Structure 1
Amino acid sequence: MAPASFHHITNTVCVMDASGSLGFSLVERLLQRGYTVHAAVQNHDCELQFGGLSCDKKKLKILYADPFDYKSIIDALRGCCGVFYNFEPPQDQSSYDEFMTEVEVRAAHNVLEACAQTETIDKVVFTSSATAVIWRDDRKSITADFDERHWSDINFCRKFKLWHALSKTLAEKTAWALAMDRGVNMVSVNAGLVMSPDLSIKNPYLKGAAEMYEDGVFVTVGLNFLVDAHVCIYEDVSSYGRYLCFNHVVNQHEDAVKLASMLTPSAPSHPQSFDQDLRIRQQRISSKKLNKLTVDFESRPQLEN
């Protein structure tokens, strides 16, 4: 049976923050599908990047929205029926540490509160991370695959200074608590490591990469796949709760070497033993819920212009 189609009041949506790879790609994809898009950015300098869009920009409105300035968020959401929210760290605080947790939680709270106060908002798609799912003290003893029902343990993340996982977990929990309290229709996308053009070894998702690899939960997601998942989840009226989103599992030596060479192209490669090359870690994470939802997405019609 095909997923239910979408029925929103207007075709105007807000992408916040639209300045990163995911936000920019979402803006482009939504415009291609016929939406009017409010691209909310934290910095006025970000406006220049939208000149490179490969689609009609007549339905694009670029707005300044600081996630710590409530009024600017309200202004960006005005007239929108949907919101795609993903957190981009402030330029003066780009690295993840314990302080970033407070920043991300506060931003999530402000945006969800603004959504609750905007009567036209019909649905919020909240971008979270697989790191908000997999980090637990008992992860090796869990018999079932990790899925959307699991949450990373906050104390475990603090103990091992997994700041990205801590930030994503607390921000998502804050968003869910506020959404349920205020009656906001929210769905979250818990994405794997995003394989975007700006991916580097400094990406905070990679903290604990060796342990994720050994545990069979090191997952990546192509940027286009992630964008389509967001749009599908937004358009499908049957979507609910959390969705783990990935399209590749790094669970064998060849995959790990390929990713390492991509992240550190100048580093020398170290040959491994033949036995180690053949080892495949058992996959222990599932995206079945998302797979069921997206099966017919490509065949769905675009909006009427």
Structure 2
Amino acid sequence: MGSEGMNGVRVVCVTGGGGYIGSWLVKNLLQGGYTVHATLRDPGDRTKCGPLMALAGAQERLKLFQADLLEEGSFDSAVEGCQGVFHVAGPMGAQENTLVITDLFISNHKLGYSCPLDEKGELCSSFRDESCWSPLNFLKSQTNRLAWYMAAKTLAEQEALKYGAHNKLDLVTILPPTVVGPWLTSTPAFTSSQTILALIGENDMYYKAFKFAQFLTGSIGIVHIDDICNAHIFLMEHPTAQGRHICCTDSRSLNSLKKCVAKQLNLSLKFDEEDSVTQYVSVSSKKLLDMGFTYKYDLEEAFKETIDCAIQKGILKL
């Protein structure tokens, strides 16, 4: 890819540029020759902007903008002049169904969820692909916060797709599983670091969330941070990309994930029978793979890089 990107796209915006996904996406875009407008709630926060401005190419092709999802119009200046927008920011607080719709190409990260349950909470499919939608009525009937989070993200994705179709936008959504791998931010990437801690029994709250997610989806999917960001860029550069795309390297039961981490850390862990799944549901990335996308990391490599980063940054002490 040349310095002007593919398909004439040269300048792009990344919302939530100071976060785990956003910062890595900024890095990969700069490496690809793009000029990047990155939004942060507080560009003056050196813990957020410092790692971004230290990236290769940042001094020449990265501009930071202040923006907040809960402030209407605050993204206008950031998206002005951009040919593509990667909406990876998530609203903070209770208003999880807030969604900013901009213009041009929009890649929405982690909006919707693919779920093999029907509205009664009963298994209706042996695999998950882009045709599966989370059962909103069932999710809303639950008291678990993760269920409401999934419902809010599903509603946001549905509204985004409706908006895109009505306004004739090239809008693409990406449905990732749990994202792991090293992080660029000075503070720990919560999802990545806590995944490892949960699997070795050092974060009970996060582990319970995993168990509930396994109940809802039939397995726990994993993808490396570099692969999910490359998938965003791949879809923006692909001339026929449209609609939903699952990006998942592998999916396993909780016990299988625990065994993988235990082997890498040489630990002896307790395995509960209930942490296996009675009806395993695989996750299909066929649509993305058929378009020509390839994953760089398998599950074991993704976990190894997460563990190495957690050790290096003092999050995991052996």
What's the TM-score, normalizing by structure 2? 0.72
Matched residues in 2 for 1:32 and 1:6: separation?
13
Task: Provide the residue aligned with 1:36 in structure 2.
Answer: 35
Task: Provide the residue aligned with 2:232 in structure 1.
Answer: 230
Matched residues in 1 for 2:207 and 2:231: separation?
22
Q: Which amino acid in 2 is paired with 1:104?
A: E
Q: Which amino acid in 1 is paired with 2:86?
A: F
Task: Provide the residue aligned with 1:149 in structure 2.
Answer: 131
Query: Match of 2:270, SS?
Result: coil
Unaligned runs of 5+ in 2: 183-188, 297-318
Which residue of the other structure, out of 151, 161, 173, is the alignment partner of 1:176?
161
User: C-alpha offsets along residues 82-124 of structure 1, whole Å, 9 cap, x if unaligned?
Assistant: 000013343xx3xxxxxx3xx2333x1xx21x32xxxxx2x11
Which residue of the other structure, out of 92, 97, 109, is the alignment partner of 1:105?
97
User: C-alpha offsets along residues 125-183 of structure 1, whole Å, 9 cap, x if unaligned?
Assistant: 11125635445446654245221011101111111231221121111112112112222
Judged with a 3 Å threshold, the aligned counterparts in structure 2 of structure 1 residues 256 and 159 are, in CA distance, closer, same or farther, namely farther
Query: Match of 1:174, SS?
Result: helix
Shift of 1:260: 8.7
Shift of 1:218: 1.6
Task: Provide the residue aligned with 2:312 in structure 1.
Answer: none
**Cα contact 1:135–1:157 (8 A) shared by 2:** no
What's the TM-score, normalizing by structure 1? 0.75
Unaligned runs of 5+ in 1: 94-99, 116-120, 299-305
Judged with a 3 Å threshold, the aligned counterparts in structure 2 of structure 1 residues 196 and 297 are, in CA distance, closer, same or farther, namely closer
Task: Provide the residue aligned with 1:159 in structure 2.
Answer: 141
Give the alignment of 1:48-127 within 5 angstroms: 48-90=50-92, 93=93, 100=94, 103-106=95-98, 108=99, 111-112=100-101, 114-115=102-103, 121=104, 123-127=105-109
Q: Which amino acid in 1 is paired with 2:37?
A: H
Aligned-pair identity (%)? 24
Instruction: Find out whether 1:269 has 2:269 as its counterpart.
Output: yes
**Cα contact 1:82–1:124 (8 A) shared by 2:** yes
Query: Match of 1:183, SS?
Result: coil
Q: Which amino acid in 1 is paired with 2:128?
A: F
- Aligned residue-pair number: 268
Task: Provide the residue aligned with 1:293 in structure 2.
Answer: 291
Matched residues in 1 for 2:119 and 2:34: separation?
44
